[in-house]
A and B are shown apart, each in its own frame.
Chain A
Amino acid sequence: MSEVIATNQTILVVGGGISGLTAALEAAECGKQVILLEKSPSVGGRVSQLHKYFPKLCIPTCGLEIQYRRLKANKNVRLMTMAEVTGITGEAGNFTVNVKVAPRYVNENCTACGECEKAVSAEFADEFNYGMKQRKGAYLVSHMAYPQRYVIDPRIVGSDDGEKAKAACKYGAVDLEMAEQNLSLNVGAVVWATGWKPYDAAKIQPYGYDRYSNVISNVEFERMLDPFGPTGGKIVRPSDGQAPKNIAFIQCAGSRDHNHLKHCSRICCMATLKQTTYVRDQLGDNCKSTVYYIDIRAIDRIDDFHRKVKEDPNVTFVKSKVANIVAGSGDNVVLKGVDTEGYNRYANEHDLVVLATGMESNVPAGVFPAGIAINEHNFIDLDSDCGIYGAGCSSDALDVNRAAQNATAAALRAIQVVNRVAGQEG
């Protein structure tokens, strides 16, 4: 990777999630040279951890498969995984970007045969499953992982496991000598697409995510639906592994709240509506869903999905921001609050609570040159000539189609910069 060649006509895309992939591929398919950086061992980002997309209830990996194929087929894109930007200097048309590449301890010889994984024993919290599951110290992030190449957890390097993994690989792919690399790239424009992380639910103290095992977050709920996920695809209560009968979905958990994220995260309402359909599909009439909301934001054409869910007799909507959660009978919890449509107090017992936690921008501090405007919600504001463009959830709280749309626009802005450098503008 050290021999990565980049020029001021190269476009750097930071982040290999749906936005970064889209920006990189669209630019590359316009004939531009692109370097795509991804911090984790494989691309796909947040959407690769989702079970289905709203409103079509289709499978995210379906779209990713196409993106990966475009990536494999296009020689204009160079992908670097486990790479993180540590600093950017310069100006539009001539940036110097410092990149830190963490060692993967596995080289391109890897065939993903899985022998190293069989050989090692130590287990670690699986990031892909938000720690709801353990994984080995030698692992493939997921079956859809691209690059389809194993990773050695740095924590087993220097241990017996490390040596076992090395010994197990017939192809000399395990290289425990790999070290962190620091490179500096010269690029013309940057598309910043580092996406989002779910807001830390433990910070929403009234809801006791840190105190009640049956209070979980919406992204964790999503992982439950994966047949290869922590629960084998079953919707269960963490406390006893039993199927829930009465689920509460709490909207704006950390969003629209000056104690947490001031902005609306846009996707949570649709995500919850979608998740009620998982409940309906898997548990049928044996489980009820109650959605506690302030406003249901099923924006534009997909409002019909909202109306369809409303017709489901097993789904109830309560216009109320839940005040707090206290222990109930057994492992159940009790939600306290007031239904503001006509002032009705409630203390409702539920056996599983899903917090619709919001989107927290991953835009870092201290990386960008002066003049890049990052707003109070930590999104990058658009400045069409600055040469660094936020894409997807680095620019706003966006759903997938808006992220792809926004990333395509960001790619064009980057192309304009490198075309100017090349003297191709009109």
Chain B
Amino acid sequence: MSDMNQAMVEKYRSNFLKEVEANVEEGTWVKMCMQCGVCSGSCPLGPHWEHPPQELFMMIRAGKREEVLSSSSMWMCTSCYNCIARCPRGLPITHIMHGLASYAKRLGLAPQNQPTSKFGDIFWDSIAKNGRVNELKIGVSLYFMNGFSQGIKNALAGRELGMAMMKTKRMSPTEYFGGHKCKDLSGIAKMLKKAKEFEAEHITKFGE
């Protein structure tokens, strides 16, 4: 159990809802759910959700902390915003799902080898490093996300697509060496560092 997780367990004994309200993006909305289920029915990857949003909200109220935070469900969110558009109570469900996912990750409870979680890291690193996405590098590291041998297989499988992209000038080998990036990288790094610190420092204080 990560230290932070330990700290949170102690801080919010038996009140997971309060914890979510304090620490999760848009978490204060969770209590407003009236269990109509429109979000759950609207999700394009619905069938892949172990627990759909409205059920997650109920589980949060019921204090099922481990089950919620270690669930793969939130990671199924494709950010299609159907749930937000339809929710009769106006809950920002997409953001709450993102918030729960990243909070679970922060506490080290997110499921291991969750592909979207890993992809998220790769993506973020690319941004943090270059200020802009380096599609080629992301693609390659994606292939190798699950180890070298699997990576080769993936790379071969994806070769056709890669070639097509190159051929249509929608990807360039030069990307691998440098490629698209911002000028003020140091500034961006500073900014992100500060932002991360702020969030880390306030994570236990939001909503208070």
| Contact between A and B in the complex (any CB pair below 8 Å) | yes
Interface residues of A (CB under 8 A from B): 206, 252, 256-259, 294, 319-324, 336-340, 343, 345
User: A339 CA to B51 CA in the complex, in Å?
Assistant: 13
Listed by A's residue number, 12 A-B pairs whose Cβ atoms lie within 8 Å are: A252-B88, A256-B88, A257-B88, A258-B88, A259-B86, A323-B38, A323-B40, A323-B41, A336-B41, A337-B41, A343-B55, A345-B47
On whether the beta carbons of B41 and A345 are closer than 8 Å, the reply is yes
On whether the beta carbons of B55 and A340 are closer than 8 Å, the reply is yes
User: A259 CA to B54 CA in the complex, in Å?
Assistant: 18
Please give the distance in Å from A138's CB to the nearest CB on chain B: 45
What residues on A are CB-neighbors of B47 within 8 Å? 345
On whether the beta carbons of A323 and B88 are closer than 8 Å, the reply is no
What residues on A are CB-neighbors of B118 within 8 Å? none
On whether the beta carbons of B88 and A338 are closer than 8 Å, the reply is no
Return the contact of A340 from the options B42, B54, B86, B90 (Cβ within 8 A): B54
Identify the closest chain A residue to B53 (Cβ).
A338
On whether the beta carbons of B41 and A324 are closer than 8 Å, the reply is yes
What residues on B are CB-neighbors of A345 within 8 Å? 40-41, 46-47
**B36 interface residue per 8 A CB criterion:** yes
**B34 interface residue per 8 A CB criterion:** yes
Q: Which DSSP category, helix, strand, loop or mixed, fits chain A's interface?
A: loop
On whether the beta carbons of A323 and B35 are closer than 8 Å, the reply is no
B75-92 with Cβ < 8 A to chain A: 82, 86, 88-90
What residues on B are CB-neighbors of A337 within 8 Å? 37-38, 40-41
Identify the closest chain B residue to A342 (Cβ).
B55
On whether the beta carbons of A343 and B34 are closer than 8 Å, the reply is no
On whether the beta carbons of A343 and B51 are closer than 8 Å, the reply is yes
User: A337 CA to B39 CA in the complex, in Å?
Assistant: 8
Please give the distance in Å from A397's CB to the nearest CB on chain B: 16
Please give the distance in Å from B50's CB to the nearest CB on chain A: 9
Given contacts A252-B88, A338-B54, contact A343 B40 (CB under 8 A): yes
Interface residues of B (CB under 8 A from A): 34-38, 40-42, 46-47, 51-52, 54-55, 82, 86, 88-90
What residues on B are CB-neighbors of A319 within 8 Å? 37
Please give the distance in Å from B45's CB to the nearest CB on chain A: 12
Given contacts A340-B55, A343-B51, contact A320 B41 (CB under 8 A): yes
Identify the closest chain B residue to A336 (Cβ).
B41
Enumerate the 3 nearest inter-chain pairs by beta-carbon distance, A residue then B residue, closest first. A323-B41, A337-B41, A321-B36
For the complex with contacts A259-B86, A320-B37, A340-B55, 12 further pairs of A-B residues with Cβ separation under 8 Å are: A206-B86, A256-B88, A320-B41, A321-B37, A323-B41, A323-B82, A323-B86, A336-B41, A338-B46, A338-B54, A340-B54, A345-B47
On whether the beta carbons of B36 and A340 are closer than 8 Å, the reply is yes
What residues on B are CB-neighbors of A343 within 8 Å? 40, 51-52, 55
On whether the beta carbons of A294 and B54 are closer than 8 Å, the reply is no
User: A328 CA to B89 CA in the complex, in Å?
Assistant: 29
What residues on A are CB-neighbors of B90 within 8 Å? 258-259
Identify the closest chain A residue to B46 (Cβ).
A345
Identify the closest chain B residue to A259 (Cβ).
B88
User: A122 CA to B51 CA in the complex, in Å?
Assistant: 59
On whether the beta carbons of B88 and A321 are closer than 8 Å, the reply is yes
Given contacts A320-B36, A323-B38, A345-B41, contact A338 B89 (CB under 8 A): no
Return the contact of B40 from the options A252, A257, A294, A338 (Cβ within 8 A): A338
Return the contact of B41 from the options A256, A257, A338 (Cβ within 8 A): A338
User: A340 CA to B35 CA in the complex, in Å?
Assistant: 7
On whether the beta carbons of A258 and B42 are closer than 8 Å, the reply is no
What residues on B are CB-neighbors of A338 within 8 Å? 37, 40-41, 46, 52, 54
Please give the distance in Å from A58's CB to the nearest CB on chain B: 33
On whether the beta carbons of B42 and A339 are closer than 8 Å, the reply is no
Identify the closest chain A residue to B47 (Cβ).
A345
What residues on B are CB-neighbors of A323 within 8 Å? 37-38, 40-42, 82, 86
Return the contact of B37 from the options A256, A257, A339 (Cβ within 8 A): A339
Given contacts A252-B88, A323-B41, contact A294 B36 (CB under 8 A): yes
Which one of A257, A321, A345 has the highest number of Cβ atoms from chain B below 10 Å of its Cβ? A321
User: A260 CA to B171 CA in the complex, in Å?
Assistant: 46
User: A343 CA to B42 CA in the complex, in Å?
Assistant: 13
Please give the distance in Å from B29's CB to the nearest CB on chain A: 12
What residues on A are CB-neighbors of B89 within 8 Å? 258
User: A324 CA to B40 CA in the complex, in Å?
Assistant: 11
On whether the beta carbons of A340 and B40 are closer than 8 Å, the reply is yes
What residues on A are CB-neighbors of B55 within 8 Å? 340, 343
Please give the distance in Å from B51's CB to the nearest CB on chain A: 7
Identify the closest chain A residue to B91 (Cβ).
A258
User: A258 CA to B37 CA in the complex, in Å?
Assistant: 15
What residues on A are CB-neighbors of B38 within 8 Å? 321-323, 337
What residues on B are CB-neighbors of A206 within 8 Å? 86
User: A345 CA to B43 CA in the complex, in Å?
Assistant: 11
User: A294 CA to B82 CA in the complex, in Å?
Assistant: 19
